[in-house]
Amino acid sequence: MPLQVIQVKSGLVKDITEYSAGKAGPFWVDGKNVRFRDGFARKIGGWEKEVMNGVNVSGVADYDTEVSLVGIAREMNYWRAFSNGEDFLAIGTHNHLFILENNALYDITPLRATASSLSDPFATENGKSIVTVTDSSHGASQGDWVRISGADLMTGIAANTFNDYYGHEIVSVVNANSYTIDVGTAATSTDTSGGGTVTIKYLIGLAAGLGTQTSAMGLGWGAGGWGDSTWGTPRATSSSDVVLENSQWSLNLWGEDLVATVRGGQIYYWDTSVGVGTRAVLASTLSGAADVPTQNRVTLVSFPDRHLVAGGTNAVGASTHDPMLVRWSDQEDLPDWTPTATNTAGDQRLEVGTKIVTMVPTRGETFISTDEAVYGMSFVGPPFTFSFRLVATNCGVISKNAATNVDSSVFWMGRSSFFVYNGSVNEIACPVKLYVFDRMEKDYTDSIFIANNKAFAEVSWFYVSDENDDLSGGNPEPDSYVTFNYDENTWSTGVIPRTTWFDAFGFRRVPFAFSPAGLLYNHESGVDDDGSALDAYIESAPIEMTQSGEFLMLVDKIVPDATITGTLDLTLKTKKYPNASTTTSKGPFSISSTSGKVSVRAKGRQMAVRFASDAIGDNWSLGQFRANLRQDGMR
C-alpha cells in the first residue's frame, strides 16, 4: 500500500472511549503542555522568572536583594501613570497589597491601627526565635501582620530583623495585651527590651476580611443536612456542605489611581501621585465621602459612564450585608454613595441566586454573575442610571476570578460546564469537560481563575486537581489548567502551578503570572521552564488502519513532518482489539528536523502515535506524518 497520512484532528478529546475518539476523528486523547494552531499540535511557550527586588527598612529599593511575595497572589492590575510615565503593577495577595515599581516590591497594605512610643515591648527567650510583643488592647488576630520600626539591637537579634520592611506575621495571640511573632533569628538570652520609641503598625487582617489563604469546608453547628449526626454536636468536614471563601481583592483603576476592595470588606484607595511610600487608605476617608459601603463582595468601574459599582454590599444606612445588592457611586465621584435628586448614585437588588460572585466590564454593559444566574447592567442615565436584565439562569460563574472579557465576549467556567456570552449565553461544547470536573477538587473551587492569552486566542482555567501534592496539608493552590482556543474551537490540558495571571499589556509584551511560591514569571518566553526542561507530550487515539478493521496491518515505516528544535521522541502503539489488555509499543524513536524516515515493525488493527520531549531547549510543531502500511497475517 502507498504511504498513508496520519491525519489527527485538532484538539483533545477525553470524554469518550479512546477507540471512539479514533473512529470519530481521529482525535488526540492525551496531552500535556501543548496547544493547537492552524489545526496542528505544538509545544506551548516556556517561561522565565522575573526578579523582584526588596525594600530596606528605610523604604528604599534594595537592588541587591531578591524577594518573593508575602502571601498567595490572587489579583493583579497593571497600568502606566500619565502624570509621571511610571509603570505600576498592583498585586493583591491573601494577606497583603503590593505595588511593583521598577522591579522593587513595595507594601501598600492599608493599616488598621498604629501603636507609637512603646517602651521595651519585646520579650525573648534564649535559643528561640519566637518573640512575645506587649501592646495593650492590640486587637490583633493570629495570622495578622505587623510592621515594626524604631526597635534597637537586643539579645543577639539585629535591629533590622525586627524593623524588617515587610513585617512579621502574628504566630499566636497570648491575650488582649500580647502576642507572639517569629523573627527568624534565635535570641542569645532571655530578656525584655527593644528601646523606648518602638512603633508598631497593624495591617488590616482577618477582621477586615484579609488573611484566609484557602477556601475550606464550614464546620460547626448547623453545617450539613437535616438529621446529620446528633443534636448539639459540631459536624465533621466530611459531612459539611458549607464552603468558606478565601481572601480576595478587586483591583480597579480610577484614572491612574488604584481602588482596592477586600472581598467581604471595605474599599481602599491608593493615590499614585503620593508614591509607593504611602499606603492605601479607606475610601470613606476621602474628601466628600458619603455612605461608602463597608461590606463588598466585588467592585469595578463602569465604562464609559465611570461609576464605581459594588456588588454584594450593604444598603445605605445599613450595617447588614446583602450579598445580592448592587450599589454605585455618583458619576465621576468615587466617594459619594448617597443617592440624591441631583446625583446618579443608587442601588438595585438582584433576585436569582444567593450571592453575587463576580462582575466583568464589557462593551456597552457590565456582566454580573450570581451563583445561579447572569445579568446585564447597562447605563441609561437619569433617573434610573442603570437598567438590569436577567440574561440566563443555571449558569453562574464558579468563582470570582473565573470569568473574563475578550473582545466583547465573556468566557467563564460554571459549576459543571463552560460558557460564553456575546449577546446571548451559550454553553461551550467541551470534549474534556468530564475529565476536568471529575479530577477537580470541589472544596477549592474558590481559587479557580481564568487566564487570557490573546496572542494565541486562548483562555485557560487553572484549578486544584486531585493530584495536587498539597492536598494533605490543607492549603493546595491551582496546579492544573484547561485551555480553550476560541478561534479554532479546540481544547487542551496541562500542569502548571499558578495563582493569578495577566495578559500582555503595554510595556509588558508577554503574559505574566505568579506561582504559589510568590515568584513572578513571564510566559511565552523561550521554550523551557525557567532554565529547566519543560516536559510536553501528545498522544493520539488508536487509529483504525483499515476502513472496518477486519485485517491486521503491519507498520514498517513512519515519515516525519515536523518543525523541531532539539529532539522529539516518537512512540508507536498498536492493538488487535479496542479492549485488548496488550498494547504493543515500539520506540521511543528520536527524530530531528533532518530525520527522513523511522523504520519500525509493529502489527495491529489500531495504531496510536505519541510525541514527547523532555530536554532543555526542545521545541516542536507537528505537521502531517505518514505511515507505510501493508496487510499482514494473523501471526
Residue 547: partners with Cβ closer than 8 Å, 6 or more residues away: none
CA 270-88-363 angle, to 5 degrees, is 85
The runs of H, that is alpha helices, within 493-594 are: none
| Nearest C-alpha neighbor of 460 from the set 489, 478, 481, 479 | 481
**Above 70 in pLDDT, residue 227?**
no
pLDDT digits (tens, 9 = 90+) for 431-459: 999 999 999 999 999 999 999 999 999 99
**Above 90 in pLDDT, residue 117?**
yes
Backbone φ and ψ for 172, nearest 5 degrees, come out as -155, 155
DSSP result, 415-448: SSSEEEESSSEEEPP-TTHHHHHHHB-GGGGGG-
- Residue 502: what pLDDT? 98
Rounded Cα gap, residues 164 and 161, in angstroms: 5
353 contacts 373 by C-beta, under 8 angstroms: yes
- Confidence label for 634 from pLDDT (cuts 50, 70 and 90): low
| Nearest C-alpha neighbor of 5 from the set 630, 629, 627 | 627
Span of 113-127, 278-292, 602-616 with lowest mean pLDDT: 602-616
**Above 60 in pLDDT, residue 217?**
no
| Nearest C-alpha neighbor of 124 from the set 183, 191, 182, 179 | 191
DSSP result, 180-238: EEE-SS--SS-EEE--S-EEEEEE--GGGT----S-EE--BTT-SSTT-S-TT-PBPGG
Amino acid letter at 48? E
Distances (CA, A) of 229 to 61, 115, 224, 243, 572: 56, 47, 9, 19, 55
Backbone φ and ψ for 528, nearest 5 degrees, come out as -115, 170
**Above 90 in pLDDT, residue 308?**
yes
- Residue 548: what pLDDT? 61
603 contacts 552 by C-beta, under 8 angstroms: yes
36 contacts 488 by C-beta, under 8 angstroms: yes
Q: What is the mean pLDDT of residues 557-562?
A: 89
Q: What is the DSSP letter of 51?
A: P
**Above 90 in pLDDT, residue 581?**
no
Span of 161-175, 238-252, 613-627 with lowest mean pLDDT: 238-252
C-alpha cell at 413: 467556567
Q: What is the mean pLDDT of residues 371-391?
A: 96
| Nearest C-alpha neighbor of 312 from the set 361, 384, 263 | 263
Alpha-carbon dihedral angle through residues 457, 462, 465, 468, given to the nearest 10 degrees? 120
C-alpha cell at 537: 507530550
Q: What is the mean pLDDT of residues 111-120?
A: 96
**Above 50 in pLDDT, residue 550?**
yes
Residue 410: partners with Cβ closer than 8 Å, 6 or more residues away: 360, 362, 367, 403, 404, 420, 421, 422
**Above 90 in pLDDT, residue 357?**
yes
Q: What is the mean pLDDT of residues 585-604?
A: 87
- Residue 237: what pLDDT? 44
Name the residue ranges covered by the structural domains of the chain: 3-33+537-632, 111-203, 288-396
3 contacts 556 by C-beta, under 8 angstroms: no
- Residue 403: what pLDDT? 98
Buried/exposed code over 321-348 (b: 16+ C-beta within 10 A; e: otherwise): bbbbbbbbbbbebbbbbebeeebbbbbb
pLDDT digits (tens, 9 = 90+) for 35-82: 999 999 999 999 999 999 999 999 999 999 999 999 999 999 999 998
**Above 50 in pLDDT, residue 238?**
no
User: Across the chain, what does the average pLDDT equal?
Assistant: 92
Rounded Cα gap, residues 536 and 32, in angstroms: 5
Specify the 3-state DSSP secondary structure of 495.
strand
Rounded Cα gap, residues 208 and 284, in angstroms: 14
Q: What percent of the chain has pLDDT over 70?
A: 94
Span of 169-183, 241-255, 479-493 with lowest mean pLDDT: 241-255
Q: What is the CATH number of domain 111-203?
A: 2.40.30.20
Rounded Cα gap, residues 625 and 635, in angstroms: 27
334 contacts 371 by C-beta, under 8 angstroms: no
- Confidence label for 223 from pLDDT (cuts 50, 70 and 90): very low
pLDDT digits (tens, 9 = 90+) for 407-428: 989 999 999 999 999 989 999 9
Rounded Cα gap, residues 82 and 273, in angstroms: 10
Residue 617: partners with Cβ closer than 8 Å, 6 or more residues away: 527, 528, 565, 566
Domain 3-33+537-632 CATH (choose: 3.40.1350, 2.60.120, 1.10.1060, 2.40.128): 2.60.120
**Above 90 in pLDDT, residue 527?**
yes
pLDDT digits (tens, 9 = 90+) for 453-503: 999 999 999 999 999 999 988 899 999 999 999 999 999 999 999 999 999
Report which of residues 585 and 190 the model is more confident about: 190
Rounded Cα gap, residues 126 and 191, in angstroms: 8
- Residue 222: what pLDDT? 47
Residue 487: partners with Cβ closer than 8 Å, 6 or more residues away: 457
Q: What is the mean pLDDT of residues 554-558?
A: 83
326 contacts 348 by C-beta, under 8 angstroms: yes
